[in-house]
Structure 1
Amino acid sequence: MINAAVYARYSSDNQRDESIDAQLRAAYEYCKKKEYRIVHEYIDRVQTATNDNRPEYQSMMADAKKKMFDVIVFHKIDRNARNEFDYYYHKTQLKKYNIRYEYVAQNIDDSPEGQMMEGIMVSFAAYYSRNLAGEVKKGHRENAHQQLWNGGTPPLGYDVVDRKLKINEQEAEAVRMAFRMRAEGKTFSAIIKALNEAGHLTKKKNKFTPNSISDLLSNEKYIGTYVFGKVTGGRSGPRNSHMNNPDAIRYENAIPAIIDRATWEMVRDKYAKRLKQSNQIETYLLSGLISCECGAPMCGGRVRNQKGILYVYYRCNDKKCKVGRIKRETVEEYVVECLLEHLNDPVKRKALAQNIEDHANTYSQIYTSHIAGIKKEIAALDRKAAKLLDAIETMGISSAIADRLKEIDKQKEAMTKKIQRASAAAASLVGRDQIEAVIDDCAFILKDNKNNPDKVRVVLELFVDSITVKQTTVDVVYKFAPNWWRRGESNP
Structure 2
Amino acid sequence: MRAALYLRSSKDRSDVSIDAQRRELKKLANDRNLIIIHEYTDVVESAKSANRPGFQAMLHDLKSHTRNWDILLMADTSRLSRRRYVAQAFKHDARKRNVEIVYSKVPEVDPITAVILDSVFEAMDEVHSLMSKDKGLAGMAENVRQGYRAGGRAPRGYQLKKIDTGTIRDGESVKKTQLETTSEAPLIGRLLKSRAQRIPRAKIIRDLSIKLSASTLIDMEWNALTYAGHTVWNVRNEKSPDGGYIGGKKRKPRSKWMVQKNTHEAIITDDEAEEILINLENSKVGQSVSAAKTGNSPYLLTGILKTPDGEMWVGDRRTHYRIKKSKSKGRYVPADSVDHAVTQQLIGDMKSRQFIKALTHEAHKYNEAHQVDPAKEIRQEIVMLNERISKTMDLATDLDDPGPALRKINELESKRKMLAAEAGRLTNEYSAQASLKGITEAQVGKILEGFADDFANLPHGKWKDAIKSLVDKIILDPNSLEFQIHYRIPVENRLCMASPRGVEPLLPA
TM-score, length basis structure 1: 0.42
TM-score normalised by length of structure 2: 0.41
